Amino acid sequence: MAKKTIGLFVGSLRKDANSKKIAKNLIKMAPEDFEFKVIEIGELPLYNQDFDDDNEVPASYTTFRNEVENLDGVIFITPEYNRSVPAVIKNAIDVASRPYGKNVWNAKPGAVISSSSGAIAGFAANHHLRQSLTFVNIPTMQQPEAYLGHLNTESFDENGLFKDKGTYGFIQKFVDAYIVWFYQLTK
């Protein structure tokens, strides 16, 4: 059986971002029949409908749309910026949902992990992101919800892996639940 490919969309462009470290943990947690891989979104120009209307689509849009189309599922890992998602995630959603009628996100099983250094753990970003995902028809896993709060450089070891066994265990349960849910949706 071919491996199922799950795209990880990281919402922070910062080189040492906690979101990138969370993605690194997810990659290690993927079962043998799945490949989790980070899909780069930082180089996409801001979405502009004129590109599609005037047939001047940037090569990065075409590459990205093709990459998303070939994914079996998606997981978004987002920090919270001003009680919402970072622009880079919203832009990626917009690019791959256009032009109208050619939404390559359609029906891909999705999930959301939010994080912050604060106590509310990206709650607002998580729920704001879910609104956009609903509109582009990404069915999003509801349970368990994943909000990782109080993250900082001390939360990870020198390899970017969770130091706290409880956090690691929780995210492993999240991955396991996603896999079960993925198969329920795609059978």
- How confident is the model over 164-178, as pLDDT tens digits? 999 999 999 999 999
Q: How far is CA 103 from CA 16, 68, 92, 107, 139, in A?
A: 31, 10, 12, 10, 14
- What integer pLDDT is reported at residue 166 of this predicted model? 93
- What integer pLDDT is reported at residue 59 of this predicted model? 96
* Cα distance between residue 159 and residue 143, in whole Å: 28
For residue range 11-32, list pLDDT tens digits in order.
Answer: 999 998 999 999 999 999 999 9
Number of domains forming the structure of the chain: 1
Instruction: Give the model's confidence band at 96: pLDDT under 50 very low, under 70 low, under 90 confident, else very high.
Output: very high
Largest CA distance in the chain: 52
- What integer pLDDT is reported at residue 8 of this predicted model? 99
CB 179 within 8 A of CB 172: no
pLDDT at 105 over 80: yes
In DSSP notation, 18-41 reads: HHHHHHHHHHHH--TTEEEEEPP-
- What integer pLDDT is reported at residue 19 of this predicted model? 96
Determine the straight-line distance between the first and last CA of the chain, rounded to whole angstroms. Answer: 14
Q: How far is CA 160 from CA 75, 102, 145, in A?
A: 19, 37, 22
pLDDT at 1 over 80: no
> Which domain covers residue 160, as residue numbers?
4-186
Domain at 46, CATH number? 3.40.50.360
CA angle, 135 then 137 then 141, to 5°:
105
pLDDT at 137 over 80: yes
